[in-house]
């Protein structure tokens, strides 16, 4: 398309002929919208015309229709009106229409709208696409979509619509089916979306196919998470780890592009700087990755020295783990007067914070001291490149004497969150044995949910970190946990 873009029409006016005298078919109109044709004229032809003496024909065209896109001011996103079709007219009436006026007027409106949008929004208008495969229950799917929406929100995007599809298996080329891609393309236009986020991970080829067909940027859930991390990273260590994760995510995608190209096997169209440039690019990225990896290694040994010093002082340590937004940072602040940033956002914390907690156990009268570490939150299907990049940070978890697993009981998917966190912990090397399960936000939980959780997890502690409920019991349990952990590790 010569002039593709939301602010313009494509510059092509299409004339089609047909034998039936019907108005233009929906499929033709859809194609007009997707290609942003200036206008579509459909002529129905009859066999009844006659040739005039001296040349010229008349009567062969029975009727004509003009269709064009609706200007932004006239369409209603709640209806499926993307176009307008004129009533049937004769070819004479058609020839009196002011095409240039029509197209110029439309373009003017489109570009005014476009400029207004650029000014008004520094955020992206996002269309979320969810695919429910055979493996996913209705409930898990709904939770997943809600989470993607939350992620988009945290990344600073505005979700304008969510489109779903059920398919036994993802479509190899486009993840969703062909008809669905068309529907998405239409919605993108109607809603003026400028980003499409898919709930499942996309292969590099799928991204390319979808971007060509949708005409806007396409990303998957992992990229949204990486973007949030990139926005959040404050410390040097945090930035380093995020960059590493992003590059590790990018590299196989570049390699994939190269492989697809080399499969063409040389010849016309494959020569030139393309492949070489890719090769150089790839090598540059690989070099940067190994540099970053070295720095993460350095970071790792620095952290491990710090931990050794602490261990020499024989202060036992507990790491707080849990799903993102569970309230981990709020808890460490409440227990130790730390000043960790907390927010109703996903991945508010990227850098670990360690604080000393000491006091006298109310129940036993024994003094206790231990270290408490706040860590980066988990999410289900944590992108592997993130796990790898954050290994220096996550080591705080694997090197602790015990873990406090914090759960947001007010979240409808709390059970699923517990499972996801346990799955991630299982994949880590050397996770400390004892884990204390703690349910948070009981101030906003109904009695029924509380009962279910209490029955299912009778040994768990129930607290509200922000309302400071149950913190005494928690301190007591933590000092017991530490004693238990130390006793067991000395064997
Ligand atoms: N109602 C209620 N809200 C809470 C409670 N504890 C924390 N919150 C809120 O939950 C949100 C997340 O809290 P954080 O402490 O930032 O959560 P986190 O686990 O550190 O999250 P990440 O660092 O993003 O993984 C904040 O808006 C807190 O105010 C609680 O006991 N009750
Ligand atoms: Mg936090």
Q: Where are the domains of the chain?
A: 11-117, 121-231, 232-262+271-309, 313-487
Nearest CA to ligand 1 atom 21: 325
Residue 302 has pLDDT above 90, yes or no: no
Burial class of residue 50 (count of CB atoms within 10 Å of its CB; 0-12, 13-18, 19+) = exposed
Buried b (16+ CB within 10 A) or exposed e, 263-302: eeeeeeeeeeeebeebeeebeebeeebeebbebbeebeee
pLDDT higher at 364 or 194: 194
Best of 326, 330, 372 to mutate for ligand 1, by most ligand atoms within 8 A of CB?
Answer: 330
Q: What is the ipTM of this complex?
A: 0.99
Please determine whether the domains at 121-231 and 313-487 fall in the same fold group of CATH: yes
DSSP 22: P
Residue 37 has pLDDT above 90, yes or no: no
Which token pair is 442? 């009981």
pLDDT band at 193 (very low <50, low <70, confident <90, very high): confident
Total-model pTM:
0.80
% of the chain exceeding 90 in pLDDT:
37
The alpha carbon of 383 and the centre of ligand 2 are apart by a number of angstroms equal to 19
Residue 265 has pLDDT above 90, yes or no: no
Residue 268 has pLDDT above 80, yes or no: no
Buried b (16+ CB within 10 A) or exposed e, 306-325: ebeebeeeebbbbbbbbbbb
pLDDT of residue 28: 85
DSSP 443: G
Which token pair is 395? 């080591």
- Tokens 């809600």 map to which residue? 146
3-state secondary structure of 87: coil
Residue 198 has pLDDT above 90, yes or no: yes
pLDDT of residue 119: 60
The helix or strand, by DSSP H or E, that contains position 226, with its residue range, turns out to be helix 221-232
Residue 88 has pLDDT above 50, yes or no: yes
**pLDDT tens-digit series, residues 200-246:** 999 888 998 998 888 888 999 999 999 998 888 888 888 888 899 88
Nearest to 180 by CA among 160, 166, 201, 191: 166
Residue 161 has pLDDT above 80, yes or no: yes
pLDDT of residue 373: 93
The alpha carbon of 144 and the centre of ligand 2 are apart by a number of angstroms equal to 21
CATH entry 3.10.690.10 includes domain 313-487: no
pLDDT of residue 267: 47
Q: Relative to the alpha carbon of 328, which ligand is closest?
A: 1
pLDDT higher at 5 or 240: 240
Q: Per CATH, which fold does 121-231 belong to?
A: Rossmann fold (3.40.50)
Residue 101 has pLDDT above 90, yes or no: no
pLDDT band at 262 (very low <50, low <70, confident <90, very high): very low
Rounded to an integer, what distance in angstroms lies between the CA atom of residue 421 and that of residue 431?
12
Pocket lined around ligand 1, Cβ cut-off 6 Å: 322, 324-330, 342-349, 377, 440-441, 443-444, 464-467
pLDDT higher at 123 or 417: 417
**pLDDT tens-digit series, residues 8-23:** 787 888 999 888 888 8
Total Cβ atoms within 10 A of residue 417: 25
Nearest CA to ligand 1 atom 8: 327
Residue 365 has pLDDT above 90, yes or no: no
pLDDT of residue 314: 75
């Amino acid at each position: 398309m010569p002039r593709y873009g939301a602010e313009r029409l494509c510059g092509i006016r299409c004339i089609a002929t047909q034998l039936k005298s019907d108005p233009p078919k929906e499929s033709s109109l859809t194609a007009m919208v997707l290609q942003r044709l200036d206008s579509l004229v459909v002529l129905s032809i009859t066999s009844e015309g006659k040739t005039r003496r001296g040349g010229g024909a008349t009567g062969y065209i029975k009727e004509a229709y003009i269709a064009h896109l609706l200007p932004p001011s006239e369409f209603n996103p709640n209806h499926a009106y993307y176009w307008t079709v004129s009533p049937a007219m004769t070819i004479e009436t058609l020839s009196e229409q002011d095409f240039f006026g029509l197209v110029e007027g439309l373009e003017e409106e489109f570009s005014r709208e476009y400029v207004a949008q650029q000014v008004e929004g520094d955020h992206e208008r996002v269309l979320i696409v969810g695919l429910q495969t055979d493996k996913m229950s209705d409930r898990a799917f709904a939770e997943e979509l809600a989470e993607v929406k939350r992620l988009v929100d945290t990344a600073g995007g505005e979700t304008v619509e969510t489109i779903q599809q059920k398919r036994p298996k993802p479509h190899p080329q486009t993840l969703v089916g062909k008809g669905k891609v068309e529907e998405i393309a239409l919605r993108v236009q109607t809603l003026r979306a400028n980003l499409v986020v898919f709930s499942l991970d996309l292969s590099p080829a799928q991204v390319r196919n979808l971007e060509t067909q949708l005409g806007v940027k396409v990303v998957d859930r992992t990229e949204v998470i990486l973007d949030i991390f990139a926005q959040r990273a404050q410390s040097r260590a945090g930035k380093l780890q995020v960059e590493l994760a992003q590059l590790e995510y990018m590299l196989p995608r570049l390699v994939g592009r190269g492989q697809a190209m080399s499969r063409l096997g040389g010849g016309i169209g494959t020569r030139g700087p393309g492949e070489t440039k890719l090769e150089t690019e790839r090598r540059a990225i690989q070099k940067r990755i190994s540099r970053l990896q070295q720095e993460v290694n350095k970071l790792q040994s620095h952290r491990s020295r710090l931990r050794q010093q602490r261990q020499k002082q024989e202060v036992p340590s507990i790491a707080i783990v849990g799903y993102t937004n569970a309230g981990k940072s709020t808890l460490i602040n409440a227990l130790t007067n730390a000043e960790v940033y907390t927010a109703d956002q996903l991945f508010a914390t990227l850098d670990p914070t360690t604080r000393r907690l000491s006091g006298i156990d109310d129940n036993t009268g024994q003094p206790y001291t231990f270290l408490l570490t706040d860590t980066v939150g988990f999410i289900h299907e944590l992108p592997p490149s993130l796990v790898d990049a954050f290994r220096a940070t996550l080591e705080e978890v694997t090197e602790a004497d015990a873990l406090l697993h914090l759960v947001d009981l007010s979240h409808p998917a709390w059970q699923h969150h517990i499972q996801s966190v346990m799955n991630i912990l299982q994949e880590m090397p050397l996770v400390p044995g004892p884990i204390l399960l703690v349910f948070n936000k009981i101030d906003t939980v109904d009695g029924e949910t509380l009962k279910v959780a209490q029955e299912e997890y009778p040994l768990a502690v129930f607290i509200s970190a922000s309302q400071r409920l149950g913190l005494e019991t928690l301190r007591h349990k933590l000092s017991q946990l530490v004693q238990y952990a130390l006793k067991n590790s000395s064997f």
